[in-house]
Structure 1
């Protein structure tokens, strides 16, 4: 039978009667947000207030639909049936959505939701006792040519200070001292004091010019022109000094930042379409997963992963969790991380290879005469003999402090320069004639041996082999499937909030998938 279709017929305004499918991702998002028991209204809505839970549900559902900008989320809330069911027919404006995504409530809600989800997964045995950690670089919402480099700032600041010292030396009469000592550390107060003296000097010259108006040519006017030119140059140098001080305060411990997002650091990312190794403004996203569920995350500004392990584990409070294994790749294999895991987390087993773990298994490495591990060692008398027959005796203990303040202990061995015939051994000297020396880090060798044993054991080796299919899969899904390769907000705090929304949305999609 033909159905009559007429868009102009009389209709009644009725709310949408809709029930979502069972195990749909919108259902899990609704259950998660309802479990948070949000009672506070959202006060940023215009011209009316919006429920905080409804806003949270809408944004999480939009992220599962590859929608990350506020204008597209507004369109989704208006056109998508599941989104209208979650918000109960309410469509917030894109400004309201944008304010919500960077509000202080988002961070608290995502952290609380992650805790509830972890308890839910553990109660249903969906996660086990292994924690897999890895990181990826995600582009910042900043122009790729807005870089400011610390080395350049240091160089320009030195040049500016040298010119400033030269100019201040030329103005020694106005500065009221005979000369500026070389190597003087310039401060802003010194420059301001000099400018004040020069302004007072200009006032005196102005009075002199007023009292000698009829003199022509007037030498006071010539002096005034010269002093004004010097004041202008000094003011320009002063502004540069302030600019460089501001840049140093933005850098912190970093080597670069972006002009359009000061918290972004220039890093080498994999999304390099020109294949020229160009650095781009980005953030380092670190996550901890188990069975492809993200149980913890954090955002860092440093491009390397080495110094991110300890802050991430402390934020997750791993000490009070039941995870037995902490698994990561060789990028986290440092002495500081090994020592932290052994001292602070003794109940956990770290499965983290060091940088040369695979290379040391090769035949080339084992036959390399330059590697100290291939030399002969006498444990009783504590000396090494290299393949050339040169003996290295213990000489002294050394300490080295890394950039981040970590102290490493070394044993230094020195080659025997004289043989039994009191003749110089040529092989014991460097090409420049110095005595050859080697250093051994006993703590590092201990941690390397420990990891070698753990990763060679079938039980723990099997746990480590899961790393690539656990945490790497989450990054692949995030970038390739959801298409999230660039943040849409600026600033470290706002990026951390958006990361929390993204992580929660990924967990909801994973939960919905395994429930079907």
Structure 2
């Protein structure tokens, strides 16, 4: 993104990315740059499953009291903050993680379904990550978010599909970094010209986003 801003002398207002780019570090980077983020949570598809919604061990299925900073488990017992640890990413980003521990798992009939620990259940939660993930989730499920995500799939992933299937481009014909880069740039140039010609023919020159189709 920094390279694009330098080369284009412009900054995109909205950033749309797949789940592989989700991280607390990326959320805060975009927030600092005053850019709206539409990043698909890594567990987005899992959230939809009935098995996940019935899993009492998941933090998402517990009730959280922000005023007391504690979770309530399926059996009504409290998981309170017992400490804070710090984790460092490969990029030297340091995140703060809160450790929650159940007040007492003794005699709980749900313990086998809730935790594999012999003692009380513990879980680690990054409050910052949870907060930013929720914002991103609300963004991608909004009307504009759905349109942006749909267009990302069409414009980005669709381009590679056309090159490989329609253009039958399965391997580079040249060797060496510079030669391969030049070959790929020529391929992209041809793709863009063909795309531009199609837009002219269909009268879509000023239309940057495909509208969402409804049944």
Q: 1:378 aligns with which of 65, 69, 79?
A: 65
Could you tell me how far apart the structure 2 residues matched to 1:374 and 1:431 are? Answer: 17
For residues 120 and 137 of structure 2, the distance between their equivalents in structure 1, rounded to whole angstroms, comes to: 33
Change (3 A) 1:322 1:340: closer
* 1:468 and 2:153 are equivalent in the alignment: yes
State the match for 2:172 in structure 1.
487
1:315 aligns with 2:3: yes
Residues 282-301 of structure 1: pairs in structure 2 closer than 5 A: none
Written as runs of structure 1 = structure 2, the 5 A alignment for 1:34-183 is: none
Please give the per-residue CA displacement for 1:300-346, whole angstroms capped at 9, x wherever unaligned. Answer: xxxxxxxxxxxxx12211783263322222222222222221113x1
Higher relative contact order, structure no. (Cα contacts within 8 Å, ≥ 6 residues apart):
1
Please report the TM-score for the alignment, with normalisation by the length of structure 2.
Answer: 0.77
CA distance in 1, matches of 2:158, 2:81: 49
Uncovered stretches (5+) of structure 2, i.e. residues with no partner: 202-215
Q: 2:173 & 2:123 partners in 1: Cα distance? A: 51
The alpha-carbon deviation at position 499 of structure 1 amounts to 2.3
Between the aligned partners of 2:159 and 2:144, the Cα distance in structure 1 is 24
Determine which of 504, 508, 511 is the counterpart of 2:189: 504
Question: What is the CA-CA distance between 1:493 and the residue it aligns to?
Answer: 4.3
Residue 401 of structure 1, CA deviation: 1.6
Number of positions where the alignment pairs a residue of Structure 1 with one of Structure 2: 196
What is the 5 A alignment of 1:39-438? 313-317=1-5, 320-321=9-10, 323-344=12-33, 346=34, 348-417=35-104, 425-427=106-108, 433-438=118-123
Paired with 1:335 and 1:448, the residues of 2 have a C-alpha distance of 8
- RMSD (Å), alpha carbons: 2.6
Summarize the Cα distance change of 1:447–1:502 in structure 2 as closer, same or farther, 3 Å threshold. same
Deviation string, structure 1 residues 79-123 (Cα, Å, up to 9, x no partner): xxxxxxxxxxxxxxxxxxxxxxxxxxxxxxxxxxxxxxxxxxxxx
**Structure 1 residue 398 displacement after superposition:** 0.9
- Extract unaligned runs of 5+ from structure 1: 1-312, 418-423
Is the alpha carbon distance of 1:432 and 1:462 closer, same or farther for their aligned partners in structure 2, counting shifts above 3 Å? closer
Query: Deviation string for 1:459-485 (max 9, x for gaps)?
Result: 332232222222222111111122212
Rg comparison, structure with higher value: 1
User: What does the per-residue CA deviation read over 1:64-88, in whole Å, with 9 as the maximum and x for residues that have no partner?
Assistant: xxxxxxxxxxxxxxxxxxxxxxxxx
